[in-house]
Structure 1
Amino acid sequence: MIVVTGATGGLGGATVEHLLERIPADRIGVSVRDAAKAQHLADRGVRVRQGAYEDPVALRDSFDGAEQVLLVSGNDPAADMVGLHRNAVEAAVAAGARRILYTSQHGAVPGNPYRPSDIHIATEAILGDSGVPWTALRNGAYGPLDQVLGPWQRTGVIAQPEDGPVPYTDRADVAEATAVVLAGDRSFDGPVTLTAPSAVTFDDLSRIASGLTGRSVKRVVPDDEQWVADQITTGVPEPMARLMLTWYQAARAGWFAETGPLLAELLGREPRTVADRLAARIAA
């Protein structure tokens, strides 16, 4: 059995959908905080059990019988995510899982100034000490492009801090590739990189957006502190704005520039490009 955590979230839920296309439903389990929200999966034959990273006992029950467990990383900046991930790893080991997979982050290496990198680095170390074979899926940035570009469609301007090359990756592609890894015969030990095949900058994106819209989309580079102040005026708490600033700082220093062919290999096709994604956003 393959057990997936976070199956009512975006990445976990999409991964389960792709698993259902590849293996029988009775070989899939999900560990979710609220079982009622996963009723649509139970109705299709998926085993649904309640489990939260804060509750090691429930986690062990939800992982029971799993050959593989996919731990979808948490992202609550106010929580002790390393401790919660440790609970999940220990529960998977106690349940007898033969392999633990973890959704890590592209560029999760020491020195990266983007603060969530520390969580992934620490969690990968916990996995390494677990005594169980493990895989860390270092996924490229797969959030909505509007989160990093800002309201460019309305303003005609990409006004974000100085950046650097990033292989922005489609979440749907990441989910499909994750399902391929879980359901396939090929094992991956340790960290592997799953990214779009090319890294682009905001200058590149402004040119792409201009070509797709037929109007000039300008790239403006505000000072870091001015950008933080602007975020605060729009209602973003200062700690969150400064956390996001470390992402731009990491990008400009090249921490996210690496790309790799594995995502395309797993998909059996080329992943969606930023041009594809922007075109879909414009057409929506």
Structure 2
Amino acid sequence: MIVITGGTGQLGSQIVDRLIERVPADRVGVSVRDTDRATDLAARGVRVRRGNFSDPGSLAEAFEGAAQVLVVSTNESGETAVAQHATAIEAARDAGAKRILYTAHQGTADDSAFVPMVDHAATERHLAKAGTPFTALRNGFYASTVAHLIGRALETGELVAPADGRVSWTAHADLAEAAAVILADEGRFDGPTPPLTAPDALDLDDVAGILTELTGRSIRRVVADDTEWAAALAGNGVPAERADMLVGMFRAARRGEFTTTGPDLENLIQRPAVRVRSMLEEVVDQRRA
């Protein structure tokens, strides 16, 4: 049995879809907070059980009989995230899993300027201490983030954001397929994987240039002050703590924390990775519709 947490989430659901193309559905289980959202998976033969990172007892049941457990990182950050990940790791170990996998990040580091990278590093230490063989998936930065960063650029002609750096933007679909390959071929990686990224790293100047080509109108990159940008987010209802965390993403990018790329993702999925340009084409088409 292979159990995936967050099986109805943006990444987890795609991992399940790709995995049941490779192994029988009755060998796949999901741990989800709301089982009502997973009725379609149950209908396809996937084992569905309730599991909540804040409820170790539910995880014990969700992970029962699992040979492998993939812990998809939570949307929380800081101590809350690390504690939830640790709870899931310990529950997987106690359930007798032979391997624990975790969705980390290419930029995982204790000294990162972006809090989630520090959380990933702390979680990887828990994995190493758990005493069970583990694989930490060093995923590239989700390319879907770019759609949020461009903001109203298509309407205003200005892409406004803090100073950044090149980022190895990588599609959820590619990362999901890579995870499915690794789960189906147990033991392919021991410990942290090589960077699982698209082959290119782009900054927002590059993104503005692509948008200019796609739309036929000038999209100008405008560099905003960190503090002013965070204040604008807060003024639009984003909690101040989250706004500050997002500024940390730009600071980390400026330091080159997300520039690393490698061939391993494409080698795993046996095809070219999705490029940012393709994703931006979809964004432009959607906003024109």
The alignment's TM-score, normalised by the length of structure 2, stands at 0.95
Matches within 5 A, 1:75-90: 75-77=75-77, 80-90=80-90
Q: Which residue of 2 aligns with 1:31?
A: 31
CA displacement 1:67-108 (0-9 Å, x = unmatched): 110000101248711111111111101111111010112211
Partner Cα separation in structure 2 for residue 170 and residue 97 of structure 1: 29
Identity of aligned residues (%): 47
Q: Which residue of 1 aligns with 2:196?
A: 194
CA displacement 1:187-213 (0-9 Å, x = unmatched): 101112211111011111111111111
Q: Which residue of 2 aligns with 1:229?
A: 231
Q: Which residue of 2 aligns with 1:13?
A: 13
Q: Which residue of 1 aligns with 2:169?
A: 168
Q: Which residue of 2 aligns with 1:183?
A: 184
Q: Which residue of 2 aligns with 1:44?
A: 44
Q: Which residue of 1 aligns with 2:216?
A: 214
Give the letter aligned to residue 283 of structure 1.
D
Matches within 5 A, 1:23-172: 23-77=23-77, 80-142=80-142, 143-172=144-173
Partner Cα separation in structure 2 for residue 112 and residue 121 of structure 1: 9
**Which range is displaced more, 231-240 or 120-129?**
231-240
- State whether residues 51 and 62 of structure 2, in contact with CA within 8 Å, keep that contact through their aligned partners in structure 1: yes
Are 1:203 and 2:205 counterparts?
A: yes
Give the letter aligned to residue 75 of structure 1.
N
The alignment's TM-score, normalised by the length of structure 1, stands at 0.96
Matches within 5 A, 1:222-261: 222-261=224-263
CA displacement 1:142-162 (0-9 Å, x = unmatched): 134222222222222110000
Q: Which residue of 1 aligns with 2:270?
A: 268
- State whether residues 70 and 101 of structure 2, in contact with CA within 8 Å, keep that contact through their aligned partners in structure 1: yes
Partner Cα separation in structure 1 for residue 109 and residue 78 of structure 2: 22
- State whether residues 77 and 115 of structure 2, in contact with CA within 8 Å, keep that contact through their aligned partners in structure 1: no
**Count of residue pairs the alignment pairs up:** 284
Partner Cα separation in structure 2 for residue 95 and residue 207 of structure 1: 50
Partner Cα separation in structure 1 for residue 150 and residue 167 of structure 2: 12
Partner Cα separation in structure 2 for residue 154 and residue 7 of structure 1: 36
| Secondary structure of the corresponding residue to residue 251 of structure 2 | helix
Partner Cα separation in structure 1 for residue 188 and residue 235 of structure 2: 48
- State whether residues 110 and 122 of structure 2, in contact with CA within 8 Å, keep that contact through their aligned partners in structure 1: no
Partner Cα separation in structure 2 for residue 29 and residue 15 of structure 1: 11
Gaps of 5+ in 1: none
- Residue 237 of structure 1 deviates from its aligned partner by 2.0
